[in-house]
Structure 1
Amino acid sequence: MENAMDRMEVKHYRESNLLKRRKLKNSLMIGLMIVATLLALTPLFSILGYVVVKGIGGINLDFFTKLPAPPGELGGGLANGIVGTFVLIGIASVIGIPFGIMTGIFLSEYGRNRFGRIVSFLTDILLGVPSIVVGIVVYTFLVLAMGGFTAYAGGVALAIIMIPAVTRTTEEMLKLVPSSIREAGLALGIPQWRVIVFIVLPTSMRGIITGVILAIARVSGETAPLLFTAFGNMYWNTTLKEPIASLPVQVFNYAISPYKQWQAQAWAGALTLILIVIILNVAARLITKKRS
């Protein structure tokens, strides 16, 4: 009896020590995870804080409503650049979103063949191509053909950057839809394209919308391709067949200028771009948030 009690006490002691070691390891790993998270977030918040400190002074009503002032003069704003950025994003979205979604549908539903593998390979290549290369290509094939820089060329360049991101997001979201849902629709005699359009797409729409918004957020701050395509100007744009101002390009030009007023507005423009990206990301989260 005593031996049995001793064995139980020894067993209890070992289990207690094992539990303590597990708790210690768990606390240690949680601490390391917190430290790693702080190390990862520190540069991000440092950059955000620095941009806010440097740019908040240049944010005023004139910044959002007036055209750029002549070199060396005080005042003025970047209203034409802000509007031009939204125009370029609009052109890119009209071209890139439908094309990207349709390509993603093809790869997910019909891409199990040689042609599908080629399209998937090209999509992966486009994802890794530097944006400045996209700008040079569009300059060669579109800007030179049209005889000058245009808003159309800038929108096409941004659309090319958007397409692979939207394609991959659409493809992955559609693959998450169970095959049983497709089979149920086909078993009812519904054509495959109707199953895709009315059953599969609505099921994965939240994820697709998230990918689209994130793709838009990505191209919102692109500068390099716009230098070769939309170029920019200091006035309001009246036609899409002419160079158009954009916030990233104006921030770049102002940042390298010798005028302190322009440098201050460059920081304000950078802060505005960050706010646009944050708003788009928050919108993506709100759209995809599941209702309780």
Structure 2
Amino acid sequence: MSTVTIKPGGGHDTTPLKAARLPRWTPYAVAAGSLAVAVGIGLAAGLESRMQWGLIAAVLFVAVSYALAARVEGTRQAKDRLATSLVWVMFLLAVVPLASLIYETVERGVKVFDGYFLSHSMGVVADDEPGGGIYHAIIGTLEQVGLACVIAVPIGLLTAIYLVEYGRGKLAKTVTFFVDVMTGIPSIVAGLFVLSFWILILGFDSSGWAGAMALSILMMPVVVRSTEEMLKLVPNELREASLALGVPKWRTILKVVLPTAIGGITTGVMLAVARIAGETAPVLLLVWVNPFINTNPFDGPQGSLPLYIYQQYQSGTQAGYDRAWAAALALISFIMILNLVARGIARWKAPKTGR
């Protein structure tokens, strides 16, 4: 297809309607070439770090992609390819460390990660001896996280409902301000607060319950924020239709608003659980260390996975290192399962659109 223009001196000038385009395989070829050149530069310059090779390849990929596009497709399309190349480079810079972490954890953690490791504790095994497991730490983590959810989820859910459905004036602004402040509280501060109030002032001993209270402080603002955003996404037409039928507001929230947003709320709660499952500082201050199995979170110290990893790595022995990596693999698997469950619930509870 072509377009026809009339020249000032008469006649016609036919130019192609479609501009020249680079082949689809160009980005892959440029990426491969940039990587090969980067490896050559790294070897010639004596650069031992592969990260440096990758950074050189990224710079070459962006520069060559822009230069080729500017020469063949024009400046406007070159700018578009420049932005696309930068997005891909930033994506890889974010994914590569994560993939490297998972690979390293799996490679080192599978050495002792088996049924025995999951079903035994460290009660009769010294830190410098092989053997033992994380059964006591799994029980402690599950109980502490579960108690934190019992505290944080109802309070966070009700706070979000108040802010979205009822909140007006200075009180709502004050609540929102403190929720924002709590979002940025370091975990050690939450642990120190519970330590000073529950243990030093009231005189209670270290326990899983004390750790759960600190974890709930960290979990609460995440639940509030995620629930608040999900409730805001519920169309006002649904609320108005229910109220127009004479349904009370509290019943409208309970029967219409919450069921509509339950998928997103559940996802937010799961993400909040994943946020607190790996916290070490509050557990170290409040739960302390117990190599034996303690199924009562209200009486005495308990084990936990984050503290177990810290303790085993601190032992400085190869057996301790192996157990620490295996426990880290168990913790990552636990968090990954939570995220998969959250995605499944969100998809299951997503509003169905009719055809």
Which residue in the other structure is 1:195 paired with? 252
Residue deviations 1:19-70 (CA, integer Å, cap 9, x gap):
8445555444333322221121111111111111221112022210111112
For 1:57, which of 94, 111, 130 is the aligned residue? Answer: 111
Residue aligned with 2:246, SS: coil
1:16 to 15, 18, 21: 18
1:18: how far off? 8.8
Larger RCO (CA under 8 A, 6+ residues apart): 1
Change (3 A) 1:26 1:79: same
Q: Which moved more, 1:221-230 or 1:256-265?
A: 256-265
Aligned to 2:182: 126
Give the drift of 1:122: 0.5
The 8 Å contact of residues 278 and 331 in structure 2, kept in 1 or not, is answered as: yes
Q: What residue number does 1:235 align with?
A: 292
Out of 331, 336, 352, which is 1:278 matched to?
336
Distance in 1 between the 2:109 and 2:235 partners? 48
For 1:10 and 1:237, the matched residues in 2 are separated by 88
- When normalised by structure 1's length, the TM-score is 0.92
- The one-character-per-residue Cα deviations of 1:159-215 (angstroms, maximum 9, x if unpaired) are 111110000111111111122221111111111101111101111111101000000
What does residue range 60-139 of structure 1 map to in structure 2 within 5 Å? Answer: 60-68=114-122, 69-139=125-195
Q: Does 1:159 align with 2:161?
A: no
Q: Which residue of 2 aligns with 1:247?
A: 305
| 8 Å contact kept, 2:219–2:276 | yes
CA gap of 1:10–1:123, structure 2 versus 1, over 3 A, is farther
Question: What is aligned with 1:261?
Answer: 319
Question: How much does 1:143 deviate?
Answer: 2.2
- 1:63/1:77 contact within 8 Å kept: yes
Query: What one-letter code is carried by the residue in structure 2 that aligns with 1:180?
Result: E
Q: Pairwise CA RMSD of aligned residues?
A: 2.1
Cα separation, 1, equivalents of 2:5 and 2:80: 31
Summarize the Cα distance change of 1:16–1:162 in structure 2 as closer, same or farther, 3 Å threshold. Answer: same
Match of 1:180 among 226, 237, 262: 237
Give 1:219's aligned residue. 276
Q: Is the 8 A contact 1:143 1:150 kept in 2?
A: no
Q: What is the aligned-residue identity percentage?
A: 40
Q: How many residues align?
A: 288
The one-letter amino acid paired with 2:170 is R
Once residues 266 and 18 of structure 2 are traced to their aligned partners in structure 1, the CA distance between those partners, rounded to angstroms, is 51
1:45 lines up with 2:47 in the alignment: no
Q: How far does residue 238 in structure 1 lie from its aligned partner after superposition?
A: 4.2
Q: Give 1:232 deviation, angstroms.
A: 2.6
1:131, 1:225 within 8 Å by CA — same for their partners in 2?
yes
Deviates more, 1:237-246 or 1:88-97: 237-246
Over 6 Å off, 4+ runs:
none
One-letter amino acid of the structure 2 residue matched with residue 44 of structure 1: L
Distance in 1 of aligned mates of 2:77 and 2:328:
46
In structure 2, the CA distance between the partners of 1:285 and 1:10, relative to structure 1 (3 Å rule), is farther
State whether residues 213 and 280 of structure 1, in contact with CA within 8 Å, keep that contact through their aligned partners in structure 2.
yes
Larger Rg: 2
Equivalent runs, 1:133-148 vs 2, <5 Å: 133-144=189-200, 145-148=202-205
- Give the residue type in structure 1 aligned to 2:103: G
Cα distance in 1 for partners of 2:293, 2:18 equals: 75
Q: Pick the structure with more helix per residue.
A: 1
Larger CA deviation: 203-212 vs 61-70: 61-70
Q: 1:74, CA displacement in angstroms?
A: 2.0
Answer yes or no: is the 8 Å Cα contact 2:234–2:257 preserved in 1: yes
Letter paired with 1:82: I
- Aligned-partner SS, 2:110: helix
CA contact (8 A) 1:162 1:219 kept: yes
Alpha-carbon distance between aligned partners in 1 of 2:20 and 2:111, rounded to the nearest angstrom:
58
CA contact (8 A) 2:191 2:281 kept: yes
